[in-house]
Amino acid sequence: MAYTTTQLITRSWYLSGVVARDFETVTGDQLNDGLDMLNAFLNIKTADQRLIPYYTDYAFSAVIGQQMYFIPNLILVETLVFYLQEVRYPMQLVGRYEFFGTARADNVQSLPYQYFVERAFNGSNVYVYFKPQDTYLFRMHAKFSLANVAKGQDLSLTLDQYYIEYLRYGLAQYMCQEYNITFPDENKMYLMKLEKLLFDISPIDFTNKKKSMLTRQMGPDIYAQANIGRGFTPGQ
């Protein structure tokens, strides 16, 4: 069943108490103001990637010798890999200091094995090292900011019902703040409950995997695999 932005904004005005459900009708100006506040609310929530439960598989091609890639609307990278022929190779996420502040050869083009992500205007910059020596295919599992919505847009085509419900309560609270009206405590508690549910739907994977150079069984690393075995290991 369709659920439009007009319905969401109208119900949010009534939920906020700014417009009395039984005695007033939401006007055209209030719908326009509500649309502006809804898009502002969506943009503010983009700063907290935990409140966007949707992950997207995103692919882009390397440019030979290019270290930085701007990805529009990107807010969180969970994994990043590159492909050599039909074999997928993992890349290691590192911090800002390790990527920019440690010694390394910046004039080398080879297989990328590290990456660093930094938020930028309207997206994020993804830095890779080494600089690619070929047009490898990069593929990431990531979160992207939610797009602005238009008047009359059917939200059910892009958002789950539970997320629309969260937007209804969140927008109502936003409206109360705009008009200096206290948002009812029971509504505030329900909004907090919805936010907690969103945190748990698609939580960030905090699994920490380390690769030791001093293991008992020393096997071929990514460079031996890619440059010698071309991604394949003979049977043992």
Per-10-residue mean pLDDT, the chain, length 236: 94 92 85 95 82 92 97 94 93 95 91 95 95 97 93 94 95 94 94 88 58 41 50 43
Within 8 A by CB and 6+ apart from 145, the residues are 42, 43, 46, 52, 73, 75
Structure tokens at 16: 């906020």
Q: Which of 198, 201, 204 is nearest to 93 (CA)?
A: 204
Q: Which residues of 202-213 are buried (b: 16+ CB within 10 A; e: fewer)?
A: eeeeeeeeeeee
Q: What is the pLDDT of residue 204?
A: 59
Q: What is the pLDDT of residue 231?
A: 47
Q: What is the pLDDT of residue 200?
A: 75
Q: What is the pLDDT of residue 215?
A: 43
Distance, in Å, from the CA atom of 191 to the CA atom of 196, rounded to the nearest integer, reads 9
Q: What is the pLDDT of residue 44?
A: 84
Distance, in Å, from the CA atom of 219 to the CA atom of 55, rounded to the nearest integer, reads 33
